[in-house]
Amino acid sequence: MQTIEIETSQNVNIEYPVASIGDRVAAGAIDYLIMIGYLVAILLIFSFLLNVTSGSEYYYPTAYFIILFLPLFFYHFLCETFLNGQSFGKKIMKTRVVKLDGTQAGIGSYFLRWLISPIDIYFTYGSVGIITMLINGKGQRLGDLAAFTTVVKLKAEAKLEDTILKLTPEDYKVRFPQVNSLTDKDIAIVKEVLDLAIQAPDVMTYEKILSKTKSAIELKTGIDSNLRAGTFLNIVLKDYNFLNNE
């Protein structure tokens, strides 16, 4: 499965899978249903306005229709611009438009995708878009190729325990200030190693992993500790979080 890396505000790269064709077709189908519902609604509103204003000085049927129809015409462009790269269908399918390098797409990218969508989707019943995605291998239709974007499948919202963050009391005393020489990626590895305990691995193997991780951290920071590997790594994690979240 093709993936793309997105860098978080903590400078940690998270890998997201590129949305499958099935995800995109399903999101598109949901959007079509929403658009059809809106179209029915504006036809009813349009009919009501015609009845109310017929024969009066405010009888502007063409203007009414254009105003009501514009949100439908710009549906995907408006949604992606104001919903952070998602339409309502994408929200339900948990997908999002991003730049190919993983950064946030901008209004220009969303506009290009919308501008080329008739060729990809509407005039060709989606066939050009699907064929382009299959050939491209990065989940890009023609609009994505022009805008240097793709659509990724979002992961479930991260919980605190899934991040490198570890709560520390305000009066916490730092044991190893040298941990400031570590990076978020280093600490992410420490957190990942400590989390292995939840998976109940072979004790001997896990102790070796802890020991090797401790040695690597000591080498990088210059710390020399007699603490058990697990205890040492937990303190390193707490120290780092306290020092970097003051």
Q: What whole-number distance in Å separates Cα of residue 154 and Cα of residue 16?
A: 7
22 and 122 co-located in one domain: yes
Question: Domain residues for 218?
Answer: 160-244
15 and 97 co-located in one domain: yes
Q: Assign 128 to helix, strand or coil.
A: helix
Strands (E), the chain: 3-7, 13-17, 95-99, 149-153
The answer, yes or no, to whether residue 13 has pLDDT greater than 80, is no
The structural domain count of the chain equals 2
Q: Map tokens 């036809």 to a residue.
A: 43
Q: What whole-number distance in Å separates Cα of residue 82 and Cα of residue 74?
A: 12
108 and 130 co-located in one domain: yes
Sign for the CA dihedral angle at 172, 178, 179, 180 comes to positive
User: How far separated are the first and last CA of the chain, in Å rounded?
Assistant: 40
Burial class (CB in 10 A: 0-12, 13-18, 19+), 171: exposed
113 and 95 co-located in one domain: yes
15 and 83 co-located in one domain: yes
pLDDT in tens, 212-238: 899 999 999 999 999 999 899 989 988
80 and 102 co-located in one domain: yes
Q: What whole-number distance in Å separates Cα of residue 238 and Cα of residue 234?
A: 6
19-22-27-33 Cα dihedral, nearest 10 degrees:
170
- Per-residue pLDDT band for 39 (boundaries 50, 70, 90) equals very high
149 and 224 co-located in one domain: no
The answer, yes or no, to whether residue 195 has pLDDT greater than 80, is no
Can you tell me the mean pLDDT for 22-33?
93
171 and 114 co-located in one domain: no
142 and 72 co-located in one domain: yes
27 and 100 co-located in one domain: yes
pLDDT of residue 61: 79
Can you tell me the mean pLDDT for 100-109?
86
Pick the last residue of a domain from 153, 186, 215: 153
138 and 183 co-located in one domain: no
16 and 133 co-located in one domain: yes
Pick the last residue of a domain from 127, 153, 179: 153
pLDDT of residue 156: 56
Pick the last residue of a domain from 153, 183, 213: 153
To the question of pTM greater than 0.85 for the whole model, the response is no
